[in-house]
Amino acid sequence: DVKVTQSSRYLVKRTGEKVFLECVQDMDHENMFWYRQDPGLGLRLIYFSYDVKMKEKGDIPEGYSVSREKKERFSLILESASTNQTSMYLCASSPRLHGTNEAFFGQGTRLTVV
């Protein structure tokens, strides 16, 4: 069974902290994505990566960075957490060339910044 695993379901951090959200997939997918999901705004793409050490900005990259040192792992970093980064964060992966680019999602991390 395919799996995308996010390291935490719930996280509470203080303003100004550096926050790491980890995502691991076991499907050997080339593409990996980080989204945030907010009521009324839907899924918004923060960053994505189509290969190891490669990254592309999505629609809302400000305040975030990413790291992909290994194919199966994609990390989202909040350099200095702020209250407006309180959200549900979803990681996804997809194969690059075949099929429909179906994305497989993790269960999400609900981050609260206080």
Binding mask 53-92 for other proteins (x = CB under 8 A): ---x-x-------------------------------x-x
Work out which of 7, 8, 30, 72 binds other proteins, going by CB under 8 A: 30
- Report DSSP letters for 101-114, one per residue: ---EE---EEEEE-
Q: Encoding tokens for residue 81?
A: 């957490």
**Location of structure tokens 């799996």:** 3
- Dihedral pair phi/psi, residue 113, rounded to 5°: -110, 120
- In the complex, the residues that contact other proteins under the rule CB under 8 A are 4, 30-31, 33, 40-43, 45, 48, 50, 56, 58, 90, 92, 94-96, 100-108
